[in-house]
């Protein structure tokens, strides 16, 4: 009994989702396909250089929404194959021509167009069958309940049943029962088939997957190098800082032991010095541990950790956080240290007297922006702090964008794909 109720709920839920999605597939995909093709044809006239990036962004959001629904509703995973924009294009350093050229050279752009065509035709048909098999039987039941009398003078066809009497009305109801049973069984499968059909067009090719693997291999190597560099820094800080102080304190204690009876006053002074050295060593160890993984990050999450960072800055700051949960610990750690590096760069080089930090999560992406009113001129380059941030984010398939015209303001935007729990 419980299994039957569960199947009915699943079928009705699938039918309702297909009903809503069918309008999006027919109207949304059709409009975007027509506008995109029109924009592409107008590229040579110059108008398309303005409209194509915006329309392509709308198409990609439309496709990404279908990817999310496929994963959420039917557990069908559709990879996101879009090529990242080059740094100069992403940072707005080049014009619309380069941006449009990059979009048109991306194979995923043309796959999206093929998917729009498929979505408004075969995709729509599958969705229509999904909910029609659950709705159409209601008409058969209504005919058996007496609606057939409206058609006494003219035969009405319900499916393949001609309805003009009570007997034929009952036959229509029987056909409705059959269709309803078929719909209960088939609706979830039809909805899943719709998403599988979308995946067959939207999924990247083997060549693109190979390029993706190469990119992940590269970022993994960079992550290993970064971790090794960080380990060397920790070892150096321990050796030059806390360890040296502890060694000196041990030597002082040995001297104090020899002076306790001969010169108690000097021994007392050296004890005070040893106490101060132990306090400084403890402070350095705490700072070192905080640099490895701040306690506030582990205990209270990324939002509060970023606010704590901003409170220690010598410039006025404003932090806005909109997070409905917490990301995985490695992602939080990468985001925290990326923000820390960005804030450090701002204080050191920007000459700003005010900065703003915005942290929020939307559409499966953790987005962080650090904006200041400084002199501008920041750029991602070899050896710069921004390059380090880019490598850190690349480990998690994240991206970094910098907008910093001469005279300011500077905005550093970081995006990391992740889910919140």
Please check whether residues 188 and 252 belong to one and the same domain: no
**What's the domain count of the chain?**
3
CA distance 133 to 176: 9
Residue stretches of the chain with pLDDT short of 50: 90-91, 93
177 in the same domain as 48: yes
What's the start-to-end Cα distance of the chain, in Å? 34
Q: Are residues 231 and 341 in the same domain?
A: no
What is the per-residue pLDDT across 296-340, written as a single tens digit (0 to 9) for each?
Answer: 777 888 888 888 888 888 888 889 998 888 888 888 888 888 888
C-alpha distances in angstroms, 11 versus 175, 190, 302, 310? 19, 10, 40, 51
Verify that 347 and 285 share a domain, yes or no: no
156 pairs with which residues across the strands? 163
- Residue 301 and residue 380 in one domain: yes
Residues 10 and 155 both lie in one domain: yes
Domain CATH code at residue 335: 3.30.565.10
For residue 115, what pLDDT is reported? 92
Could you list the residue range(s) of the whole structural domain that residue 239 is in? Answer: 207-292
Q: Are residues 410 and 309 in the same domain?
A: yes
Question: What pLDDT shows up at residue 91?
Answer: 47
Is the Cα dihedral 303, 308, 314, 318 positive or negative? positive
From its phi and psi, is residue 159 left (phi > 0), alpha (psi between -120 and 50) or beta? left
pLDDT of residue 243: 63
Domain-terminating residue out of 242, 261, 292: 292
Q: Of the residues 244, 266, 292, which one is the last residue of a structural domain?
A: 292
CA distance 371 to 369: 6
The answer on 284 and 385 residing in a single domain is no
Question: What pLDDT, on the 0 to 100 scale, is given for residue 298?
Answer: 76
> Both 11 and 92 in a single domain?
yes
pLDDT tens string 371-399: 888 888 777 765 556 777 877 787 777 88
Does one domain contain both 15 and 153?
A: yes
> Looking at the structure, do residues 25 and 140 belong to the same domain, yes or no?
yes
Given 152, 168, 202, the domain boundary residue is: 202
Whether residue 404 is found in the same domain as residue 334: yes
The tokens of 85 are what? Answer: 């924009």
pLDDT value of residue 93: 43
Compute CA distances 409 → 173, 343, 378, 406, whole Å.
70, 14, 10, 8
- pLDDT of 241 reads 58
């Amino acid at each position: 009994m419980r299994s039957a109720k569960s199947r009915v709920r699943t079928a009705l839920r699938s039918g309702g989702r297909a009903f809503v999605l069918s309008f999006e597939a027919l109207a949304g995909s059709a409009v975007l396909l027509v506008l995109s093709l029109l924009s592409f044809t107008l590229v040579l006239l110059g108008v398309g250089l303005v409209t194509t990036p915006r329309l392509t962004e709308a198409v990609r959001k439309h496709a990404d929404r279908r990817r999310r629904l496929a994963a959420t509703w039917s557990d069908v995973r559709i990879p996101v194959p879009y090529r990242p924009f080059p740094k100069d294009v992403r940072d707005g350093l080049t014009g619309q021509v380069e941006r449009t050229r990059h979009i048109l050279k991306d194979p995923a752009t043309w796959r999206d167009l093929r998917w729009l065509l498929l979505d408004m035709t075969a995709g729509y048909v599958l969705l229509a069958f999904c909910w029609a098999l659950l709705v159409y039987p209601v008409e058969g039941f209504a005919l058996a309940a007496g609606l057939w009398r409206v058609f006494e003078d003219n035969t009405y066809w319900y499916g393949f049943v001609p309805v003009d009497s009570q007997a034929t009305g009952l036959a229509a109801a029987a056909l409705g029962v059959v269709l309803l049973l078929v719909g209960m069984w088939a609706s979830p499968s039809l909805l899943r088939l719709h998403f599988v059909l979308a995946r067959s067009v939207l999924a990247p090719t083997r060549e693109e997957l190979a390029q993706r693997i190469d990119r992940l291999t590269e970022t993994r190597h960079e992550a290993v190098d970064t971790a090794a560099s960080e380990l060397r820094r920790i070892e150096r800080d321990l050796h030059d800082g806390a360890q040296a102080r502890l060694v000196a304190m041990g030597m002082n204690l040995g001297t104090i032991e020899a002076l306790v009876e001969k010169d108690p006053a000097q021994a007392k002074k050296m004890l005070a010095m040893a106490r101060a050295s132990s306090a400084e060593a403890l402070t350095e160890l705490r700072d070192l541990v905080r640099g490895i993984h701040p306690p506030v990050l582990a205990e209270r999450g990324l939002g509060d950790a970023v606010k704590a960072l901003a409170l220690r800055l010598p410039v006025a700051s404003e932090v806005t956080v909109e997070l409905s949960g917490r990301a995985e610990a490695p992602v939080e750690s990468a985001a925290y240290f990326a923000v820390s590096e960005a804030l450090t760069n701002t204080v050191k080089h920007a000459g700003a007297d005010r900065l703003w930090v915005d942290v929020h999560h939307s559409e499966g992406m953790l987005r962080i922006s650090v904006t200041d009113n400084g002199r501008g001129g920041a750029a991602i380059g070899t050896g710069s702090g921004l390059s380090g941030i880019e490598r850190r984010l690349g480990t998690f398939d994240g991206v970094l964008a910098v907008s910093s015209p001469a005279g300011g303001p500077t905005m550093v935007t970081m995006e990391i794909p992740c889910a919140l729990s």
